[in-house]
Amino acid sequence: MAKPTSPITRLAQGSILCAIALGVMPLLQFLLVQGVPVFSDHGISPVVFFTLKQALLSTMLSVVMGIGVARALARQSFAGKALFLRLLALPMAMPAIVAVLGLVSLFGNSGLFPGFIPLYGFWGIVLAHVFFNLPMCVRMFYQALGNAPEEGFKLAAQLNLGERAIFRHVEWPALRPVIARGAALVFLLCAASFVIALSFGGASATTLEVAIYQSLRLDFDIPRALQLSLVQVVLSLSLIGLVAHMFDAAALTFSLRQTARFRPRPRTGSIIFDWCLIAIAGLLVLPVVIAVFATGLGALHFSALTFQALGTSLALGFASASLALLLALPLARAADTASHLVSLAAMILPPAVMATGWFVLLRGLPDSAALSALLIVLLNGLVALPYAAATMTSGFLKITPAHDKLSAQLGLTSLVRWRIVDFPLLRTQLAQAFLMGMVTSLGDLTAIMLFGTHGIITLPSLQQAEMGHYRGHEAAGTAALLLLLCGALTFAAQHWGERHDPT
């Protein structure tokens, strides 16, 4: 897909790289003051080993199961499927501690099924990571499977191909370009695990992120933080490179009709298999969501503060998602390796490091709520970008060379083309990408903690404040409210995205 890089793509790439550079450069001055550290192992190898071990396992489980469940959902139709898919968006919005407490309500010592799984330890961490990331993979892959050409399925039926052959020749090519993105994203999320790793694993579950946090915060040893970040960047880049190489997006699907409606009927064995997968995914995700609602709905409480937090969360989430989508469009359209890497930049480089750099840069400016809000939006936008980009990638796959040729023949200007060709095709994905950006920003606590609050209070920060003042009951209510909000947004996005289905 060697398209020439458009100026807009370059602009998007440039802006993100610029933001990264502005985050790193101001920190380099500390190397002069505090000295360039000699690279010492200093107990970091077990940390790197642990980070890799849990992140790789969590990623593999999430991606492999994600493919299976997405395919099962695409093949089976049942009442409540749409609802099920929407509920899968909720874990993404949960602040880590809410998910931790939800899992504890189920599998903890005081939970409904104590001892069902050893929650405190390695497997608790993996379970929590799969809980967060499997739903995301399923949603992403399900969208991508929608790109599988109907002709392919029909041809396969005529040729009487087996299910494995159908998977290989029809479904896999549609999935392939999104798998690399999905896997990279899950890996980065798991590698950066902080609250989940420590909550379930304790001190022995130290990830690189925790080590970076310690040197940046407790020790105020910026050279060491930079050094550890470098380790993280190298690790992440190698893994992303490897995955991208394995799932190179070379195959180009070609189709006239977009959404695959015709599906050959699977064998009975496969139907059972599909249902097992759907059941496993359901059992993994839904009980936690139900547990959060069960403890929280009775504790819903509304005060001026709640509404302020609600409004602020919505405003910040909307702005962050808009930024993410704006950057994701040209990057996903270009769909080259550079764009892929750039879209992941804010996750490859620890956000805390970048935020510190920005802060040093801006320290001369008067502190204000507006500046804090701007930085929160910038950081959340960059963190939400990979989700938005991954979703848009599967959207742009619908735009084939045929569309390009036709538009060129008709001499459509880019604006007109966007309105009558691209936009209708991308509508569903645009809604989904925006939603994903919004939902991840809504649940975010990192940015607001990094930049100081200045009276800015969001639902997660309110939830945390309540927990910090012994008000666990109210905190559960706020967490439920956050999920209700995300649920409502998911419905709205689905509704808007499907209003004009192009097929």
The residues binding another protein (CB under 8 A) are 43, 46, 97, 100-101, 104-105, 108-110, 120, 194-195, 198-204, 206, 210, 213-214, 217-220, 305, 356, 359-360, 363-364, 366-367, 449, 452-455, 457, 461, 464-472, 475
Task: Tell me how far, at minimum, the Cβ of 160 lies from another protein, in Å.
Answer: 55
Burial of 465: CB neighbours in 10 Å, binned 0-12, 13-18, 19+: middle
Task: Tell me how far, at minimum, the Cβ of 57 lies from another protein, in Å.
Answer: 20
Closer residue to another protein (CB): 461 or 490: 461
Closer residue to another protein (CB): 356 or 490: 356
Query: In which element (H, E) is residue 288 found?
Result: helix 268-296
Burial of 81: CB neighbours in 10 Å, binned 0-12, 13-18, 19+: middle
Question: Using alpha carbons only, what angle is made at residue 164 by residues 163 and 166, rounded to the nearest 5 degrees?
Answer: 65
Closer residue to another protein (CB): 262 or 302: 302
Contacts for 267 with CB less than 8 Å, ≥ 6 apart: 163
Task: Tell me how far, at minimum, the Cβ of 111 lies from another protein, in Å.
Answer: 8
| 27-41 core/surface letters (b: 16 or more CB in 10 A; e: else) | beebeeeeeebeeee
DSSP letter (8 states) at residue 299? G
Give the up-direction half-sphere exposure of residue 220: CA atoms within 13 A in the CB hemisphere.
2
Task: Tell me how far, at minimum, the Cβ of 101 lies from another protein, in Å.
Answer: 6
Closer residue to another protein (CB): 3 or 469: 469
The Cα 18–Cα 402 span in angstroms is: 35
Closer residue to another protein (CB): 10 or 454: 454
Indicate the length of the chain as a whole number: 503
Task: Tell me how far, at minimum, the Cβ of 210 lies from another protein, in Å.
Answer: 7
Closer residue to another protein (CB): 422 or 474: 474
Closer residue to another protein (CB): 22 or 326: 22
Task: Tell me how far, at minimum, the Cβ of 216 lies from another protein, in Å.
Answer: 8
Task: Tell me how far, at minimum, the Cβ of 221 lies from another protein, in Å.
Answer: 9
